[in-house]
Amino acid sequence: MKVALIQMQVASSPAENLQTARTHLKDAAAGGADIAVLPEMFCCPYETPNFPRFAQKEGDEIWQALSEMAKENSLYLVAGSVPEDDDGKTYNTSYVFDPEGKCIAKHRKVHLFDIDVKGGQRFMESETLTAGDSLTTFDTPWGKMGLCICYDIRFPEWMRLMALEGAKAVFIPAAFNMTTGPAHWELSFRARALDNQIYLFGCAPARDMDASYHSWGHSIATNPWGEVMAQLDETEGILFAHADFQREDAIRDQLPLLRHRRVDLYELREIKK
Ligand SMILES: NC(=O)CC(=O)C(=O)O
């Protein structure tokens, strides 16, 4: 399975952002990608007042444009995330489209990014966003995949639940920043990939020092052995990476972490709402 992570610049105009995504998706398809991934909030500068301002309903113009792009390029599209308007609430939502343009999954960011690091990054998604409440996986010809958004990666239980549901890889549109990126980005991807013996693909916006939120960039692919397979710097570009699920199975056979869990002593379960 060949994945293309599209680390694009985010402008203030949704139309411009869609055009940028369209151009890069053509290159991803030409490069042989089976699945292409866009960044968190690729269509809207990452600022809390923008989320309700830019929000659209599922099925509106942005959703339709993304569906067309998946179809035009005949690939699975993990369409980053966008502000979604539903019943007066705004969610940070990621849609997944199949190569026919059908929407096959939708994840609303479950863990809202509310942090205030002394001398560093402050951000309060809960000022304008509502949290989702569902675990998200979807089926592909390569097996079941997981989907979460940025801050969700910091919660090991959430990733473990996706692995226990059978996800062989997890896609993570994300946007760490200049405080947390250098400290925790690569470490989080390596740790979650190793704990769960899965591939992880994180796709971030390119850094824009004129924006109010400075993305760390560094879109990344990690493997089930806990290694970084490839990583970009902060500039715009496409990262191609392969997932080899035979290797994943072999690692799980040789180092059976998931089988060695002592479920007679402890338990992790999803509480269905
Ligand atoms: N932007 C996020 O949701 C998360 C983030 O930047 C971090 O965890 O650090």
Nearest CA residue ID for atom 7, ligand 1: 176
Q: Identify the pLDDT of residue 272.
A: 80
Q: Which residues contact 231 (CB under 8 A, 6 or more apart)?
A: 186, 218, 219, 220, 221, 239
**Averaged pLDDT for residues 234-244:** 98
- Summarised one tens digit per residue, pLDDT across range 5-34 is 999 999 999 999 999 999 999 999 999 999
Q: What is the pLDDT of residues 126-150, one digit of tens each?
A: 999 999 999 999 999 999 999 999 9
* C-alpha–C-alpha distance, residues 185 and 65, integer Å: 30
Asked if residue 187 has pLDDT above 80, the reply is: yes
Average pLDDT of the residues in 156-167: 98
| ipTM of the predicted assembly exceeds 0.95 | yes
Mutation to probe ligand 1, out of 81, 127, 150, 187 (largest number of atoms < 8 A from CB): 150
Looking up tokens 């979807």 gives 138
Active-site amino acid positions: 40, 109, 150
Rounded distance from Cα 71 to ligand 1 centre (Å): 31
The whole-number average pLDDT for the span 179-193 is 98
pLDDT for residue 161? 98
Q: Are 66 and 58 in contact (CB under 8 A)?
A: no
Give the closest residue (by CA) to ligand 1 atom 3.
151
Tokens 């035009």 belong to residue: 72
Domains in the chain, start-ordered, CATH in brackets?
2-254 (3.60.110.10)
pLDDT of 273 over the 90 cut: no
Q: Is the pLDDT of residue 168 over 90?
A: yes
Instruction: Look at residue 270 in the predicted model and tell me its pLDDT.
Output: 86
In tens, the pLDDT along 30-66 reads 999 999 999 999 999 999 999 999 999 999 999 999 9
| Phi–psi pair at 179, nearest 5 degrees | -90, -50
Confidence class of residue 255 from pLDDT cuts 50, 70 and 90? very high
The CA 48 to ligand 1 mean position distance, Å, reads: 13
Model-level pTM? 0.98
Ligand 1 site: residues with CB under 6 angstroms? Answer: 113, 150-151, 154, 175-177, 180
Start-end of H helices in the chain: 14-30, 50-54, 61-73, 156-165, 180, 186-196, 245-254
Q: What is the mean pLDDT of the chain?
A: 98
Report CA(36)–ligand 1 centroid distance (Å).
21
pLDDT confidence bin for 242, thresholds 50/70/90: very high
What would the two tokens of residue 94 be? 């990621």
Range from 3-7, 116-120, 216-220, 267-271 carrying the lowest mean pLDDT: 267-271
